[in-house]
Structure 1
Amino acid sequence: MCGIAGWIDWEKDLSEQHAVLRKMTASITHRGPDSEGFWLSRHAALGHRRLIVIAPEAGEQPMVYEHGNDKIVLTYNGELYNYRELRKELQEKGHVFQSLSDTEVVLHAYLEWQEDCVTHFNGIFAFGIWDEKVQRLMLGRDHLGVKPLFYTQVGHSVIFGSEIKVLLSHSAVHAEVDREGLAEIFGMGPIRTPGQAVFKGIKEVRAGHYALFTSSKKVTHPYWQLKSQPHTDDVDTTVSKIRTLLEDTVRHQLIADKPLVSMLSGGLDSSGLTAIAGQEYKEKGKRLHTYSIDFVNYEADFKEDFLRRDRDEPWVRKVSEYVGTEHHSIVIGADKLAENLLIPMRARDLPGIGELETSLYLLFKEMKKQATVALSGESADEVFSGYPWFHQPEFLDAETFPWLVNIDFIADVLTDEWKERLQLKAYQKQRYQEALAEVPLLENEDDRHRKQRQMSYMFITRFLTFMLDRKDRASMMTGFEVRVPFCDYRLVEYLWNIPHELKSIDDIEKGILRRALKPYLPDEVRNRRKSGYPSTNDQTYLKAIGQMMVTVLEDPQSPLRRFVKIDRLMQIAQGEDQEITDEQARHVLDYLLQVNAWLKEYEITINL
């Protein structure tokens, strides 16, 4: 895993712009702490930060291919899980390799297939390729959007990078936000519109897309999309195909030249991956290490709610003992959560979900001490339609994104003036209608199945990208790579057309996955009902962020003050507001503390 940066200008000579390029790459040193590299020519400057995972002695970047008049330069973040198969295929076509790295495979795949190279990849990736002969830039991103990629066009320039901060490190790019950006911040929350980066003029390469830039035009193209068709496999065949795909995916994603571990929550998803990986390790005479997160006093503080049925730790111990892993439980206190609240915002360059992101960052920070790579069960709920919303009419019939139903407590604290200016409900509706228009519907599908398909699309293309962003920024902030086997595009393609009643066979969410994992897990673990990512219930944390908000509101220079009803937010911060629950108050305070710090630290200019 790595960080990439680039600056292309068809009019300006960039060959001496080392200082600018170094500043851009320095902003993402955390993504690649092991080494750095630069390549400059008259109209292109490419930079790279490397985190070594595969082929430590090779894969230095930017990587250059030169033959006759051809000169192709690659800066690449990610991993191809099928790089060995692709390498063999390319060798059979006459390509000669100098290393065993997947980076060189990406480069030669472009030489062979040009922009169609992405259709041959199975992995997680974001890259920039500069073709010196034809003066063309290609930006490509993986199928599900596991790895991030942003760009902006300024005059005759294209500036791109793994994170927004790369672009903002360039003097031509300004931290400016317009009405649409504010509507994203206050109306969409952390689950934002794909392709939009909130900052004015900055775009995100969408998952499953590539973009081509020349001096005269830009072309973006979706190389991978979900396609709807009838599911014709019977139950046993469906179970068998899912199991086979998962086994193949995990086997490929265990490839690493650095220590690899697995995240383990005791839930179905992470337990299943851990069991498959654990068996692979046993066959090689090795023992898999696993990690979970817990909170100080969580056993006493735990409260069952809509998303969390029970504590993870008892289940974690059961799975670890059953699979035979060496387990590590990372226990985090409320003080650490409060102290580190703003770090994920700085990693993401945008406000996030607060404590749920902070705890993940702290977990990865501890895991990094022993390993470089981890497997995660992230995304199984999105691709297997595992959330309760998929069968509840209140959400299926809602004319908005399901996660926005009855969630108005952020907008409620805005001033009437800003509510009127931003028209958040209208903005949400516009974005929802745009998403609906993208859904590949199946002919003659009944109303209920159509709505479930639409909801599935929302989760895969919107909610999942948010979850993957959270995972990527929180992990890469510590120079740590997290792999997500449930995001293998082959599995996602297959699951897309499985009807919801088959996905939830045996009258339980993800029932089809439970059947697929029968050879790997004991029944009590397979039948554990979904319980969401843990969240602290320690009142100490709520009091700490409440005091932080009081300090913000009492400071006349705080940029948040212009947007909010100060008296109302002060009541929430002091625990005196009776209209919202403690959990809602925590979300409000977490998020708006980040908004304030974001506006201040990034020196945001508001341009309506």
Structure 2
Amino acid sequence: MCGIAGWIDWTRDLSDDGRTLKNMTDAIEHRGPDAEGSWLKGHAALGHRRLIVIDPDGGKQPMLYQNEKNTIALTYNGELYNYLELRKELTERNHPFTTNSDTEVLLRAYLEWGEDCVRHFNGIFAFGIWDEEKEKLILGRDHLGVKPLFYKIKEDQILFGSEIKALLAHPDVQAEIDTEGLSEVFGLGPMKTPGKAIFKDIYEVRGGHYMTVTKNDRKTVQYWKLESKEHKDDVETTVQTIRGLLEDTVKRQLIADKPLVSMLSGGLDSSGLTAIAGKEFKEENKVLPTYSIDFVNNEESFKEDFLRRDLDEPWVKRVSDHVGTDHTSIVFDAEKLVDNLLIPMRARDLPGVGEIETSLYLLFKEMKKDATVALSGESADEVFSGYPWFHQEKFLDADVFPWLLNIGGIAGVLNEDLKDWLNIKEYQKQRYQEALAELPVLEGESDVEAKQRRMSYMFITRFLPFMLDRKDRASMMTGFEVRVPFCDYRLVEYLWNIPFEMKNIDDIEKGILRRAFEGYLPDDVRNRRKSAYPSTKDDAYLAGVQKWMNNILDDSTSPILQLIDVEAVRKIADGESSLPDSSAKGLLDYLIQVNGWLKEYSIKVAI
């Protein structure tokens, strides 16, 4: 994994602008702490920060192809899991290779297939290719958008980078937010609209898309999307297909020249992947290291809620003993979570979900001490329709994104003038209707089946991008790569058309996945009900963010004061509101981050 940045200006020679390019790549040094590279010629400046995972000597970037007529330069972040097959195919098509890296495979794939090369890839990737002869830039992103890619077009130039901070390091880019950006921040929260970057005039290449940009033309192509069709496989065939796809995907994603480990929560998703990976390790006479997270006083203070049914750690031990992993549990206290609250915001360049992201960042920071790569069970709930909302009328019948019914309230603390100006409810409905218009319907489905397909689409295309962003930024902030087997596009395509009733077979969420893991996991683990990513229940954490918020409210220079109803927030910070502690904690987490974001990024609010 790596960080990329680039700058094309069709009216200038950028050969002497190395300092500006270096500022852009330095801003994302954390994504690639092992090496840096740059290439500047004519109208193009491409930069790279490298985290070495495969082929330490051969994967240096930017990577060039040159002949007497043309130079093609590539800067790339990601992994191609089918690069060995592609290399073989390209070799048969008379392409020579001088390295063992997937970077060279991507470059050669462009030489062979042009922009259609993306249709041949299975992996997680974001790249920029400069074709000097055509004076054309190609920006491409993987099917689900696991790897990030942002850009800004201004007059005759385009800037791009793995993170927004790379663009903000350029002198022509200002940190500014307008009405639409505020509506995203307070109306949708961290689950922003795909393609939007919140900052004014900065956008992202959406997953499953690529862009081509020349001086006089810009084109965006969706090369992959979900297609609805009848699922004709019976249950047993479906189970075996899922099992086969997961086994193949995990095996592909275990390839690394650096130490690899697995995340293990004791839940179905990470446990199943750990079991598959553990089997592969055993066949090579190795032991798979695994890691989990826990909190000080968690056993004493744990309370069951809508998303968390029981403690993870007993199940973690059960799976680790069964698979035979070398397990480490990382424990954090409330003070450490509070002290590090703003780091994930700096990683994302945007406010996030507070201590849930903070603990994830701290976990990766510890894991990085022992490894460079990890497997994660992220996205199984989205692609297997695992959330309880899929069978509850309140959520199925909603005319907004279903998660907003549970996590609404951010807009409720805005001041009255801003509430009237933004009209958040209307904005939420507008974005929901845009998503609905994309939905590939299937004729002949029942009303309930159609609603469940609709909800599945919302989770895959609107909620999952947030989850992937969270994991990418939290891991890459520590120079650590996390792979997500459940995001293999072949698996996602197949699951998309499996009826919810079959996904939910045996009258339990993700029942079809539980059957696929039969033989890999003990029955009690396979039948454990879903419990979400852990959150601290320690009262000390709530007290810490309440104190922090009061300090913000007492500081007349706090930028958030111009946006919020100060007295309403004060009541929450003083523990005098009617909000449950969990809701108060989440809201204060978010407002603290918004204030820190506005202040640290010196954001100009233009409304």
1:315 equivalent to 2:315? Answer yes
- Match of 1:138, SS state, is strand
Q: What's the CA shift string for 1:378-412, capped at 9, x where partnerless?
A: 00000000000001000000001000115432111
Aligned pairs for 1:376-395 (under 5 A) are 376-395=376-395
Q: Residue in 2 aligned with 1:131? A: 131
- Match of 1:327, SS state, is strand
Task: Tell me how many residue pairs correspond in the alignment.
Answer: 607
Q: Residue in 2 aligned with 1:398? A: 398
Give the Cα separation in 2 of the matches to 1:393 and 1:252.
40
- Match of 1:405, SS state, is helix
Give the Cα separation in 2 of the matches to 1:246 and 1:129.
31
Deviates more, 1:321-330 or 1:437-446: 437-446
Give the Cα separation in 1 of the matches to 2:127 and 2:537.
41
Q: What's the CA shift string for 1:312-347, capped at 9, x where partnerless?
A: 000000000000000000000000000000000000
Q: Residue in 2 aligned with 1:74? A: 74
Aligned pairs for 1:535-550 (under 5 A) are 535-550=535-550
Q: Which amino acid aligns with 2:587?
A: V
Give the Cα separation in 2 of the matches to 1:36 and 1:19.
13
Q: Residue in 2 aligned with 1:337? A: 337
Give the Cα separation in 2 of the matches to 1:214 and 1:173.
20
Q: Residue in 1 aligned with 2:503? A: 503
Cα offset, 1:565, TM superposition? 1.1
Q: Residue in 2 aligned with 1:282? A: 282
Q: Which amino acid aligns with 1:145?
A: G
Give the Cα separation in 2 of the matches to 1:308 and 1:408.
19
Give the Cα separation in 1 of the matches to 2:390 and 2:28.
38
Q: Which amino acid aligns with 1:370?
A: D
Q: Residue in 1 aligned with 2:206? A: 206
1:424 equivalent to 2:421? Answer no
Q: Which amino acid aligns with 2:259?
A: P
Assess, with a 3 A threshold, how the Cα gap between structure 1 residues 240 and 456 changes in structure 2: closer, same or farther. Answer: same
Q: Residue in 1 aligned with 2:606? A: 607
Q: Which amino acid aligns with 2:115?
A: E
Give the Cα separation in 2 of the matches to 1:473 and 1:450.
34
Give the Cα separation in 1 of the matches to 2:450 and 2:110.
38
Q: What's the CA shift string for 1:433-492, capped at 9, x where partnerless?
A: 000000000012221111101100000011000000000000000000000000000000
Q: Which amino acid aligns with 2:580?
A: T
Q: Which amino acid aligns with 1:586?
A: K
Give the Cα separation in 2 of the matches to 1:283 and 1:298.
37
Give the Cα separation in 1 of the matches to 2:406 and 2:220.
36
Give the Cα separation in 2 of the matches to 1:567 and 1:124.
46
Cα offset, 1:22, TM superposition? 0.3
Q: Residue in 2 aligned with 1:485? A: 485
Give the Cα separation in 2 of the matches to 1:407 and 1:167.
31
Aligned pairs for 1:170-181 (under 5 A) are 170-181=170-181
- Match of 1:38, SS state, is strand
- Match of 2:403, SS state, is helix
Give the Cα separation in 1 of the matches to 2:209 and 2:268.
31
Structure 1 gaps of 5+ residues are none
Q: Residue in 1 aligned with 2:434? A: 434
Q: Residue in 2 aligned with 1:17? A: 17
Q: Which amino acid aligns with 1:389?
A: W
Cα offset, 1:39, TM superposition? 0.1
Give the Cα separation in 2 of the matches to 1:406 and 1:420.
23
Assess, with a 3 A threshold, how the Cα gap between structure 1 residues 406 and 100 changes in structure 2: closer, same or farther. Answer: closer
Q: What's the CA shift string for 1:343-379, capped at 9, x where partnerless?
A: 0000000000000000000000000000000000000
Q: Residue in 1 aligned with 2:591? A: 592
Q: What's the CA shift string for 1:114-137, capped at 9, x where partnerless?
A: 000000000000000000011000
Aligned pairs for 1:499-538 (under 5 A) are 499-538=499-538
Q: Residue in 1 aligned with 2:413? A: 413
Give the Cα separation in 1 of the matches to 2:73 and 2:358.
37
Deviates more, 1:401-410 or 1:176-185: 401-410
- Match of 1:356, SS state, is helix
- Match of 1:402, SS state, is coil
Give the Cα separation in 1 of the matches to 2:332 and 2:189.
26
- Match of 2:362, SS state, is helix
1:260 equivalent to 2:260? Answer yes
Q: Residue in 2 aligned with 1:28? A: 28
Q: What's the CA shift string for 1:278-329, capped at 9, x where partnerless?
A: 0000000000000000000100010000000000000000000000000000
Give the Cα separation in 1 of the matches to 2:523 and 2:547.
46
- Match of 1:451, SS state, is helix
Give the Cα separation in 2 of the matches to 1:409 and 1:439.
27
How well do the aligned residues superpose, as a CA RMSD in angstroms?
0.6
Give the Cα separation in 1 of the matches to 2:30 and 2:579.
38
Cα offset, 1:262, TM superposition? 0.1
- Match of 1:231, SS state, is coil
Q: Residue in 1 aligned with 2:88? A: 88
Normalising by structure 1, we get a TM-score of 0.99
Q: What's the CA shift string for 1:518-576, capped at 9, x where partnerless?
A: 02001000000000000001110111111110110000000110111111111111112
Aligned pairs for 1:87-166 (under 5 A) are 87-166=87-166
Normalising by structure 2, we get a TM-score of 1.00
Q: Which amino acid aligns with 2:195?
A: G
Cα offset, 1:9, TM superposition? 0.4
Q: Which amino acid aligns with 1:584?
A: S
Give the Cα separation in 2 of the matches to 1:322 and 1:457.
35
Give the Cα separation in 1 of the matches to 2:443 and 2:276.
37
Between the aligned residues of both structures, percent identity stands at 68
Q: Which amino acid aligns with 2:81?
A: Y
Give the Cα separation in 2 of the matches to 1:351 and 1:486.
26
